[in-house]
A and B are shown apart, each in its own frame.
Chain A
Amino acid sequence: MRSIIYLLIGISFGIVMFKSEAASWFRIYEMFQFQSFHMYGIIGSALILGIIGVQVIKRKKLKSIDGEPIVFNDKDVSFSRYAYGGLAFGLGWALAGACPGPIFTLIGAGYLPILVVFVGALIGTYIYGLLRDKLPH
């Protein structure tokens, strides 16, 4: 039953990514050229509602559907891993024009050359696992 909920969440997410054109290479390029508000509007409006919602959940101490307290885990404090990792991710995001969510969406949409990006992303993840102890975190 719970699996169906996750599947429906994923389906909604995939449709939104495709229909909003957030999965389009062209929209990512246009965003980094600052020539459209579209992508900033998507991320910005999701973020503003996200900030408000998280505050409401915390202040009202809302519970999950299982009756458990909702816990927000703080991210580990560091600078280098977020700066270097973020930089590498940004280079790839702009080059391939897709981030991990849209990679899956585009597979379903039938743009099969995206599978090259997908395989690359798996290799990149593997390389991180391989080098993790040698990288500054």
Chain B
Amino acid sequence: MEWIFEPWPWYVAGPLIALIMFILIFVGRDFGMSSNLRTMCSMCGAGKNIEFFKFDWKSQRWNLMVVLGAIIGGFIGANVLTEDPSVAINPDTIAILEGLGFDSAGEAYLPTELYSWEAIGGIKALVILLIGGILIGFGARYGGGCTSGHAISGLSNLQLPSLIAVIGFFVGGLIMIHLLFPLIF
């Protein structure tokens, strides 16, 4: 059972994600995480002025339970099932990241240069995380889904729109890391 405390390999994680999607399908639901962001906006009263948020958000309570579970699962994964959270990425990747100033590469789960209170206190990391979040939320709703809704469920159902979106995800990611990162960091 020692393996459970180690990072799980892709051939364990991928099939488990497919299994989770199929369980949701068999209870009559669709797998998709980003739609919860719309639900949360509606819960906060965004439907008062904006048509897009005027819908029966209570019909989405089931997905909010999935969200609550994902939070609890993160807690269990980090605190019960992990001894050493550092992520053993490719040494070549570590070298590139160190060149950009990410000295925590290879030694942490998230870069402390962005995800620590100390970093957030300096305005730069705060702005980066906020803009990143805005792009995620805006892009997911504009594009009609995120990694779970398009890359997993949509493509599983051979949807051409999902293929366009997933190509968009990758083009966006490649532009960010190869063209914009050297300017930002």
Chain A residues with CB under 8 Å of chain B are: 2-3, 5-33, 35-47, 49-51, 53-54, 57, 62, 64-66, 68, 70, 72-79, 81-101, 103-114, 116-130, 132, 135
A87 cross-chain contacts in B, Cβ below 8 A: 139, 168-169, 171-172, 175
Please judge, given known A-B contacts A100-B37, A104-B71, A109-B77, whether A85 and B140 are in contact too, CB under 8 Å: yes
Please give the number of chain B residues whose Cβ is less than 8 angstroms from any Cβ of chain A in the complex. Answer: 127
Further pairs besides A16-B8, A77-B160, A105-B77: 16, Cβ < 8 Å: A9-B69, A17-B74, A20-B7, A42-B14, A50-B152, A50-B153, A65-B26, A66-B27, A86-B167, A96-B135, A105-B73, A110-B78, A116-B126, A122-B137, A126-B53, A129-B53
Number of A-B residue pairs having CB atoms within 8 Å of each other in the complex = 498
Task: Give chain B nearest CB distance to A67 CB in angstroms.
Answer: 10
Complex contact B93–A124 (CB within 8 A): no
The SS class assigned to the A binding surface is helix
B79 nearest CB across to chain A (Å): 7
Selected A-B contacts with CB under 8 Å, 12 pairs: A11-B70, A13-B17, A26-B108, A43-B151, A47-B155, A89-B142, A93-B169, A95-B131, A96-B132, A98-B132, A104-B70, A111-B110
A43 to B34, CA, bound (A): 17
Chain B residues whose C-beta falls within 8 Å of the C-beta of A104 in the assembled complex: 33, 67, 70-71, 74
Complex interface: chain A residues within 8 A of B134 (CB): 92, 120-121, 123-124, 127
Interface SS of chain B: helix, strand, loop or mixed?
Answer: helix
Report A-chain residues with C-beta under 8 Å of the C-beta of B159: 74-75
Q: A27 contacts B70, CB within 8 Å?
A: no
